[in-house]
Amino acid sequence: MPSAVTSRKFSTMFDWFDQDRDGQLTQSDFAATAGVFSRAAREDDHTNIGAIHTAFDQWWQLLVKHGDTDGDGQVSREEFVTVMEDTVTTEAHFEPAVMAIADAVMSAVDTDQDGVLSLQEYVRLYDTLGVDRDVSTAAFHLVDRDGNGVISFAEYRAAIVEFYLSTDPAAPGNHLLGPAA
């Protein structure tokens, strides 16, 4: 069931994915967004960069198949919010659409390959995405649920799940893109 919290988050995401700022999402917007995420990886990390691009393309295919209700090859804000709530966040689609990106990004950002994200690695990711350092630093401390100074893959995945699925504005994952995005 759609909630004001998830609708607001998905509307914010729409603005973020609309790379050319034309008010419609297209395959080129998703390719450009994949490029933004890929800049957080090491230049020679072709495996994770490829995985990021593949995952964003799979997400786009899901959006256009289930969300492009007028058949124009684009997804409007209304179509995006609806398809996110009705399709992408369902059990059948969430893991391959969203978590595939989260896993590839986490692997790419873990530049020292120690299996966790340090504050520096985490903030560098969000710098690449245009999120203010004060915001990403505060989010790091919320996402680091056990307070050990690093974010494990499990903690990062939990935050992603909360961002997409939680209707609780206070959930730590809702702060990934800023205070209660």
Of 151, 160, 166, 88, residue with least CA distance to 119: 151
CB of 84 closer than 8 Å to CB of 51 = no
80 or 130: which leads in pLDDT: 80
Inform me whether the pLDDT recorded for 180 exceeds 60. no
CB of 68 closer than 8 Å to CB of 82 = no
Mean pLDDT for the chain overall = 92
The per-residue pLDDT for range 38-60, each reduced to its tens digit, is 998 999 999 999 999 999 999 99
| Superfamily name with CATH number, domain 4-175 | EF-hand (1.10.238.10)
Of 155, 118, 131, residue with least CA distance to 12: 131
Token pair, residue 127, equals 């710098």
> CB count, 10 Å around CB of 152?
17
pTM of the predicted model as reported, rounded to 2 decimal places: 0.89
Domain boundaries, the chain: 4-175
